[in-house]
Structure 1
Amino acid sequence: MSPHAPRKGAHVARSPRLEDVALAAGVSRQTVSNVINSPDVVRAATRERVSRAIADLGYRPHAAARSLRTRRSSTIAIHLDPYAGGISGVVLDRFIHALTDLAGERAMRVLLYTARDHDEELVRLRELLDGGEADAVVLTGTSHGDPRTLWLADRQTPFVAFGRPWGEDDRHAWVDVDGAAGTRKATQWALAHAGPDVAFLGWPSGSGTGDDREAGWRATAPNAHALRLVSEESVRSARAVVADALDAGAPLDALVCASDSLAVGAHLAAVAAGRADLPIVGFDNTPAAEAIGLSSIEQRPEQVASAALDLLLGTRGAADGSDAPSHVLVEPELVLR
């Protein structure tokens, strides 16, 4: 996780983690995990070196991690969204890939499952958990009143959500990207390099993620009446909306967008209107934005996956040292092209 990513109730000091032990002993995280959980598979000299590092640092394996690793399958279940085309799905793909890699380093496995809606997903989760095929869950696509979080909490199943509860019950562990921080960076750059009229192209209000990204722009734009354009998540829709704004002569020095799909549509409209040089910043840093040469906000899904796994395995406890769940916001990066 980025050293700049804030954590709820974070203190400067923290308890030593498995990664610290690995660094001190000069071994991999997997070797440390093996010394703790399966010492017989590690050479005596290496065991001694790791044990000495554990003692020197005062590292204590978290009870939740030990409990999870001693269950039947050591498997984390995560929902695989159906393929829907578009541009931005690559972010979740990167997250799942990173989660699988990092879980493997910690002697855990990842199991993918599919479901068309939350009701079907709960049926599928019950089958996986009751059948011993999975011991823990990573939730994606969280929403207001998400029934999955309460269901998993009632079962006392270890789980972490990729996505905030957006003001609702947040007693469960979650990790998310600080979208407002990303659009603040983009707006600040646009103000410094393009001019005062920095507009925002986002989704209709009511989306937690979309409203968060809009808030970063709104808090940074100097003009309280700055242009706010609305589009569905579609290249075609975004192109039409921006084309109308340009045809109407709207003041537009630069454009910050809620996604790369919207940014690509905006770019196509700008080119058609003879404004190919209009600075446009997307969000997600997808290959499409890179191919066209658009600036974008990088969500760092690999760091999100690392933080999610830390929370799930209990290696990132509360700041007061208790077993209470923690929340992690990963600060995104502005990628300029």
Structure 2
Amino acid sequence: MSQLPTVLDVGRVAGVSRQTVSNVLNSPQIVKPETRQKVEAAIAQLGYRPHASARRLRTQKSSTLGIRLDPMTNGISGSLLDRFLHALTEQADRRGLRVMLFTATGPEDEIRQFARLRDGADVDGFVLTATFVDDPRTEWLIENNVPFVTFGRPWGIDDMNDPRHLWVDVDGRSGVRDATDHLLDGGASHVAFLGWPTKFSTGDDRRRGWREAMEARSGLDAAQLDALQADSEDDVAAASQAIRSLIESGVRVDAVACASDSLALGALLVVGAEVSVVGYDNTPVAGAIGLSSVEQPLDEVAVGALDLLLGDGSHGIVGWESSSPERRHRLVTPRLVVRERSPIGRLA
């Protein structure tokens, strides 16, 4: 087996000293740009990777991010965060970082885990998911000056641009607006929206996208649009009941835009092939049954989260202190995946 390349090998190929290579790896800002480019080219050519353990000893940093492993859920869209974890771990590994998973029974328990992992120097920062209104986790991290980034906006509080709260999110309003436009383009005029109860801020954002498209193009008045909305927990059976109740109330429904694929499958079981349905999250189930769905680009979310946490990239995880004002949040655009749906039976 060939020996892994070393710092000395990089220096030999680049024509510089071992110390210069070390400076490029740890303090690139002090190295002349042309020298740094030669070293970086040699690193790429040799496939050199810094020894993580040695770097941790030298910098007194763990090079580790903590993220809560959410409880298992029954909803079809529950796989979304699993896919995000995979993307985050893959992108972190490319930057010489590790991801530590931990569990918690709720927000307060998660805060206790923050304190434990911080006090033990086990992690340098955190990635939070499933943000919600009045989220106490972000308040604690800000008060204790712990680097973090959230997958999700700071809902319900006036810190959308707070420099201490770094966040990445997917523009759900844009995604559902595109989905609704697609249904309107297909000839529907009475496009219903099947969403979550209004306590879910992410769901409210997606609902606004539907409303914007309908107000702009459907010709329906506010009362008619209000009547075209139904709410359900993220459960297939509950979604079926919600859309059935809406139809039985006498409201005309030509198509349905949904806040998740779980809701979309529930709607499909009621409306069958006669009514077009679009989901959200583009889960494997959507692909299997030919359901059109809005896809969240989770690789872009993971890259964005790490970009914000790493700042200029030269000193490991630094958080908001090194972030310029224009680099404190990132809103990622989703894309609509249009499919020809497979036949699916209607529930009696």
Selected match of 1:73 from 23, 39, 62: 62
Where do residues 92-107 of structure 1 align in structure 2 (5 Å cutoff)?
Answer: 92-107=81-96
- Which runs of 5 or more structure 2 residues have no equivalent in the other structure? 1-13, 15-20, 29-34, 43-54, 314-318, 340-348
The one-letter amino acid of 1:135's match is D
TM superposition shift of 1:277: 3.3
Larger radius of gyration: 2
Structure (1/2) with the larger helix percentage:
2
Q: Is the 8 A contact 1:71 1:135 kept in 2?
A: no
User: Cα distance 1:309–1:48, how it changes in 2: closer, same or farther (>3 A)?
Assistant: closer
1:108-165 Cα deviation digits (max 9, x unpaired): 1100000011111111111111101111100111111111112111221111011111
Q: Distance in 2 between matches of 1:283 and 1:242?
A: 16
The one-letter amino acid of 2:118's match is L
Selected match of 1:89 from 78, 101, 113: 78
Aligned to 1:160: 149
Q: Is the 8 A contact 1:33 1:107 kept in 2?
A: no
The answer to whether the aligner puts 1:284 opposite 2:281 as a matched pair is: yes
Q: Is the 8 A contact 1:94 1:302 kept in 2?
A: no
Q: Distance in 2 between matches of 1:51 and 1:102?
A: 19
User: Cα distance 1:249–1:125, how it changes in 2: closer, same or farther (>3 A)?
Assistant: same
The answer to whether the aligner puts 1:309 opposite 2:298 as a matched pair is: no
The one-letter amino acid of 2:307's match is D
Aligned to 2:236: 235
Aligned to 1:60: none
Q: Distance in 2 between matches of 1:48 and 1:250?
A: 64
TM-score, with structure 1 as normaliser: 0.77
Aligned to 1:182: 175
TM superposition shift of 1:70: 3.2
TM-score, with structure 2 as normaliser: 0.75
Aligned to 2:338: 336
Where do residues 198-277 of structure 1 align in structure 2 (5 Å cutoff)?
Answer: 198-221=191-214, 222=218, 223=220, 224=222, 225-226=224-225, 227-271=228-272, 276-277=273-274
The number of aligned residues is 283
TM superposition shift of 1:197: 1.1
Task: Describe the SS at the equivalent of 1:89.
Answer: helix
The one-letter amino acid of 1:88's match is S
User: Cα distance 1:193–1:135, how it changes in 2: closer, same or farther (>3 A)?
Assistant: same
The one-letter amino acid of 1:245's match is L
The alignment's C-alpha RMSD in Å is: 2.9
Aligned to 2:32: none
Task: Describe the SS at the equivalent of 1:88.
Answer: helix
TM superposition shift of 1:211: 0.6
Q: Is the 8 A contact 1:184 1:216 kept in 2?
A: yes
Q: Is the 8 A contact 2:134 2:156 kept in 1?
A: no
Task: Describe the SS at the equivalent of 1:311.
Answer: helix
Q: Is the 8 A contact 2:131 2:155 kept in 1?
A: no
The answer to whether the aligner puts 1:128 opposite 2:117 as a matched pair is: yes
User: Cα distance 1:184–1:71, how it changes in 2: closer, same or farther (>3 A)?
Assistant: farther
Aligned to 1:18: none
Q: Indicate the percent of aligned positions where both proteins have the same amino acid.
A: 52
Q: Distance in 1 between matches of 2:312 and 2:173?
A: 27
